[in-house]
Amino acid sequence: MTASESTEKILAVLAEVAETDEVRTNPDLALFDLQVLDSMKTVELMVAISEQLGVDISPAEFEREKWATPRLMIADLESRIGA
């Protein structure tokens, strides 16, 4: 999987869980500060990422600062995927 493919898949999963396409167009959207994601949606996102991308993230590994924006989330997940 190329970096652009993984970016698109991550954004697709995020847009589905967050219920907004704004995550695709604004890479610096403050996901938690603007309440795009809350604790329940974050867990939902972890499950969806595991199912659709094969990347397992336990709540203990989750760092809110690394997922504060779509850009940061993509960087974190791509480092885990090895893209």
Query: What digits encode the pLDDT tens for the residues 6-62?
Result: 999 999 999 999 999 999 999 999 999 999 999 999 999 999 999 999 999 988 889
Tell me the two tokens of residue 6. 């993984």
Taking CA atoms, 38 is separated from 12, 64, 72, 76, 82, in Å, by 18, 10, 16, 18, 27
pTM equals 0.91
Q: What pLDDT, on a 0 to 100 scale, did the predictor assign at position 1? A: 74
Q: What pLDDT, on a 0 to 100 scale, did the predictor assign at position 3? A: 83
